[in-house]
Amino acid sequence: MRWLFIISAEDSEDYRKQKKQWELVSASVPEETGCIDALSYKGAEPLEIAEDLIEINRGGKYEGILVAHGNRTDEVAGRYAALGGCRCLLGICDITWEKDVPLFHKSVYQSNMEASFPIELPFAAGLTGWKDRGYPACTEMLPTERVLPRPVKATDEKVLIEAGTKQKESDVLLAVGKGVRTKEDVQKLKELAEDKGYMFGVTRPVAMNGWALIDEIIGVSGHIYSPKVCITIGVSGSAAFYAGIENSGWIASVNTDEHAPIVQMSDLAVIDDYKNIWERLSLIL
């Protein structure tokens, strides 16, 4: 079992409380059962956190996401569950164990009773005030700091996109998502597209990460294309992105995640790392 604990404190006092909750929750997990890693976000909005967690957990490393008690707990947990299509349980005040099965506790009937629930994996859970059962907690544990790029304001983003020049139409569009794991690889694919005379674009998270131009965004917040062939690489397939390619004559996707929404939207899906097949695919095209 491996879970991920999310700290999204708005100030130092919130951070102290949420870190303490992580220590208490971790202490309640039987040592032989598994562990709980932690990420701390500062200055990030709930949707940004949820989108980042989707990318972090795309390979299914974590079976569950626990969001620390705070002002944005329910929104972070709820958005992550909605994006990831997993179960969500809010108001969790305790976790106990029956053998290796976790039971999640929360108040019910207007807080007059407490109920416990098993939850099917994967899941997202929003925590509330935690019961300290006296387990020895390790106070020396430190969460991993996660710093997200400062987002471009929506108004600025709209101006940048409208000011840009839409690419000359071609029969093929190459669309790149954050599954292409580095800025260098995004640029290599852009160069390859340009050499072939293809159109090129990216998902919004790629541009927000500084790996591509704002004007290269495809979808609701960017450009809409109607190529004969659209090739997506490392794209998850959000509805906002799909709006930019849905008029394509034929869609091929390359993705390591067979459950990514883009796979269901594609006429052809290759479940593999793009580096393993791109050379052969480019020769065909």
Domain containing residue 95: CATH number: 3.40.50.620
pLDDT at 158: 44
pLDDT at 139: 52
Is the Cβ–Cβ distance between 84 and 76 less than 8 Å? Answer: no
Residues 158 and 142 in one domain: no
pLDDT at 121: 86
pLDDT at 141: 65
Q: Residue 187: give its domain's CATH number.
A: 3.40.50.1220
53: amino acid identity, one letter: L
Residues 79 and 203 in one domain: no
Residues 135 and 218 in one domain: no
Cα 67 from chain centre: 14
Ranges in the chain, pLDDT < 50:
152-164
Structural domain count, the chain: 2
Positive or negative, the CA dihedral 211, 217, 221, 222 is: positive
Residues 17 and 115 in one domain: yes
pLDDT at 134: 63
pLDDT at 224: 86
pLDDT at 173: 94
Provide CB contacts within 8 A for 214, sequence distance 6+.
Answer: 152, 157, 160, 161, 164, 207
What's the predicted TM-score (pTM) here?
A: 0.53
Is the Cβ–Cβ distance between 180 and 205 less than 8 Å? Answer: no
Which residue matches tokens 């791109």?
278
Is the Cβ–Cβ distance between 246 and 224 less than 8 Å? Answer: no
pLDDT tens digits for 67-82?
999 988 999 998 898 8
Residues 260 and 129 in one domain: no
Residues 136 and 171 in one domain: no
Nearest alpha carbon to residue 72 among 105, 103, 50, 89 = 50
Residues 126 and 175 in one domain: no
Domain range enclosing 164:
154-284
pLDDT at 159: 42
pLDDT at 152: 45
